Amino acid sequence: MGFFDSDIVQQEAKQLFEDYQALIKLGSSYGKFDREGKKLFIEQMEAMMDRYRVFMKRFELSEDFMAQMTMEQLKTQLGQFGVTPQQMFDQMHLTLQRMKTELENQP
């Protein structure tokens, strides 16, 4: 069975994409959130990044040709911006850490 033939992989990919889209949409109102809302949003984004990292690791470790091609396409797309997948995760982590620091420094 191919990597993408798995119902579990398909469902997880769909759920990950839908959850990410919902968080991004919600994030457009981040400035209007109260302190607890901002804290919750940051926590949800951290959890999303963890889920995404695990999902991508499955691609990386899979011997399935399509999974390997998907990873190569992602690396190529990110490479066009001068970024590796690890750098993308590192940057997102830094951004979330800055958001936490800003939140802690608010009166």
User: Structure pTM?
Assistant: 0.83
Exposed/middle/buried for residue 33 (C-beta within 10 Å: 0-12, 13-18, 19+): middle
- The rounded distance, in Å, linking the Cα atoms of 67 and 4 is 8
Identify the band that residue 51 occupies on the pLDDT scale cut at 50, 70 and 90. Answer: very high
Q: Quick: pLDDT tens for 55-72.
A: 999 888 989 998 899 899
48: tokens are 């999303």
DSSP H stretches of helix in 62-84: 65-79
pLDDT at 1 over 70: no
- The rounded distance, in Å, linking the Cα atoms of 88 and 82 is 10
Average pLDDT in the chain: 92
- The rounded distance, in Å, linking the Cα atoms of 6 and 96 is 32
Q: Quick: pLDDT tens for 6-18.
A: 898 889 989 999 9
- Angle CA 64–14–73, to nearest 5: 45
- The rounded distance, in Å, linking the Cα atoms of 36 and 39 is 5
